[in-house]
Amino acid sequence: MTTDNSVNAAPLHLAIVGGGPTCTYVLERLAALVRGRRDPVALEIVVYDLSGEFGPGQVHSPDQTRTSYLNRVVGQVAFAADESVVDAGPLLSAVERPTLLEWCRKKFEETGDPIYDMVAEDWPKRFVHGEALRDQFTGYVEILRATEGVEVTLRQAEVVDLEERGDRFAVLTADGAPAYEADYVLMLTGHSSNRPELDPRQAHLARFAAEHEARLVPSAYPLERSLDPAYTGPGTTVACLGMGLTGIDVLLYLTEGRGGTFERDADGELHYVPCGAEPDSIVAFSRSGLFTFARPYNEKERDIASLEYKGPFLTAGAVTELRRTVGVPNVIGGAPKRQLDFERHVFPLILLEMALLQYGVQYGPEFREAAIAAARPAYEKFLADADAFADHQEAGDFLVAPVEELALAVGERVDDVLAGRTALAVHAGGGPADPESAGLPPVDRAVRAFLTVVYGAERTEALLSEAADPHVFAAAVAAAESPWRHATSASEHRFSWERTINPVPVPEGGYTSPEEYVETFLDFLDRDIRWAAQGNLSNPAKAAADAAWRDMRGVVIEAVDFGGLLASSHRTFLGVYTPHHNRLCQGASVEAMEKVTALIRSGRVDVSVGPGARLECDEERGLFRVDGPATGAARYADVLVDARVHGFDAERDVMPVYPNLLRRGIVRKWANPGLGEPDFVPGGLDLTPEFHPVRADDRVESRITFLGPPSEGVMYHQIGALRPNKDHHVIRDILCWIHAFMPREDSSPAQGSTAQPPAAGAMTKELERNPS
């Protein structure tokens, strides 16, 4: 196929299926690149979107409920490439490419509406993000349409199939309109769901609902259509299966979205005031019985480049070395690959980083440096032979042990000082040296760091002013209260993976009553919200989770992508560790979790079934029944809302385009080939690193590109909003598509500026998805 698309040539025909956020980013790059070219190009662009919500798409619609939050602080959202993107090409002017924060500030100046009055660390409502996306999309289309030789057509239509016609693909739509024939098709269909009758998790529920009065809502979105008051209003009980971000959206929509309000009392506690239009009860349940943990205040926002974590142990180099020493040879997509076991080879390194992070915050930077040195020999031994350990627990214990031993020794001395058994001056050079502390990091600095964690900087200074007299100091410490409900003894601050993921454990024999469990659960929520408010640098547990599972996610992606894990390990990673990741570092805001807590206290939301809840279909009553084996609770529901994330599956997708493409052999599902075990087929498409599908006959179809959920499986964590000041993978993926039909020009001082590579040694960009 020729790529001669100069303005005097026949235009290149581009079809973009899906007009949501990623399409907005695509049009931004096209707008900047075509306007900045010395040699004009001829492009004919047709964008399809079923909802007609061009820019936001249906998920971020400006017309949606005001109760849903965006799952990212406002300072971490952009709509365009910026100077951080290497080889981005010409950039739009700063005025044409505001970040979400800049857009909100301008909107607030224009309207005075407090909904837009935000600082970088605030959480915007999702509809606000949608309004900004719509504005930016419109602006980019205007730039394109004003460029010679470029046409843009927006079509509200559902694309149901792609039909090969010579060198082009005909884009077939449900309305039967004449098919547009495209040279290149970019599929940006975004989030979807599976047909309930084909989903093994839902098929029996769908059959039951079809035969009884009970109603199944197989997918929660869009909330306004799925949760009709006619069957989720007063007099009904709604069961919400899933306690992640979607489940939280459901709870807030059925309460606050119906007209209920939240008010604070004199003590600052939030209370829910019902409006009378809510369901009588909303039963929230899941396998774990836990909501996502409250997302911490993002202290890193003030200097992302230096504050986002780069660990000494969980690195791309470590993954490479593990592949060399313990990787199992396999053939993935015709190429050799040494596969790892995530649980045995990668997860122990995450545990080591989490322990290092928690104790580093708890006892200060000097402790951290000493702990890194102490852990190094065990780390090197692990890299050399990670299979020498019986299982991942033994490997994790081995790696963490040197850090734990150092933390125990320092913690004992910190407690001695806090209890008045040892004068702080002994460790600060003001008295006789403590021979037992030789070789340890400075204990006086560990005391200061620990007090700051527990009581805050201001209170710490007041306490330390009493340190000259050990007994007076000990009394002052004993009388102080932690605003974040931290334990006041260093010995009680121990890293534990089990306590991290199971903060509301079931006692032996279970809870004595559902009410006892709810009180225990509310106590955890209160503490978790307080810890989140403390921040992702100041709170040891939140710092460990945020850095190890969020900041270093690129290393995990390096380990997983393109068959990086053994088939059974890949299945375990997605089924066990991805939910841990989501709960630990993809949680809701403090504001949202305060509202959830108030709803539980009000009795409107019922979490009493607890962990391990069992969902049954009660034939006699014709209702859904949820049993809590750990609490003894049994709840019946008229409506069941499935608020779990639907993994992409091309065969089962509700959009007909994917089953049709499979039927035509234009795409196929990716399989991780098992070695002496079954293959693992996650459901996503078999794609090349350039996101082109591999056809049923093994040929690569370079005229079609898939970004987003269809790539989940062969790749990991492909969904996310664009971030400012990051060499973001979404922009790099978009540029890969554009450069296939519009080759780069030599750098020139065209309109706007051009992104430059960072200076040698600079660490200014985040590779959110590393190339495999």
User: What's the pLDDT at 754?
Assistant: 53
Which amino acid appears at position 395 of this protein?
A
One fold for both 12-190+719-741 and 203-292+588-642? yes
CA neighbor of 670 nearest in space, from 645, 696, 646, 690 = 696
Token pair belonging to 449 = 């760091």
Query: How many CA atoms does the CB half-sphere of 132 hold within 13 Å?
Result: 29
Topology of domain 12-190+719-741 in CATH is: FAD/NAD(P)-binding domain (3.50.50)
User: What's the pLDDT at 140?
Assistant: 98
Distance from C-alpha of 279 to C-alpha of 595, rounded to nearest angstrom:
17
Tens-place pLDDT, residues 463-522: 999 999 999 999 999 999 999 999 999 999 999 999 999 999 999 999 999 999 999 999
User: What's the pLDDT at 771?
Assistant: 31
Distance from C-alpha of 337 to C-alpha of 328, rounded to nearest angstrom:
8
Token pair belonging to 532 = 């989140």
380 Cβ partners below 8 Å, 6+ apart? none
Distance from C-alpha of 573 to C-alpha of 560, rounded to nearest angstrom:
9
461 Cβ partners below 8 Å, 6+ apart? none
The vertex-648 CA angle with 643 and 651, nearest 5°, equals 120
User: What's the pLDDT at 438?
Assistant: 61
Which amino acid appears at position 93 of this protein?
S
CA neighbor of 80 nearest in space, from 133, 3, 8 = 133
Q: Which residues of the chain have pLDDT under 70?
A: 1-8, 429-438, 746-772
Which amino acid appears at position 34 of this protein?
V
Tens-place pLDDT, residues 29-42: 999 999 988 888 99
Distance from C-alpha of 255 to C-alpha of 542, rounded to nearest angstrom:
29
What is the architecture of the domain spanning 203-292+588-642?
3-Layer(bba) Sandwich (3.50)
User: What's the pLDDT at 280?
Assistant: 98
For the chain, give every domain's residue range. 12-190+719-741, 203-292+588-642, 299-585
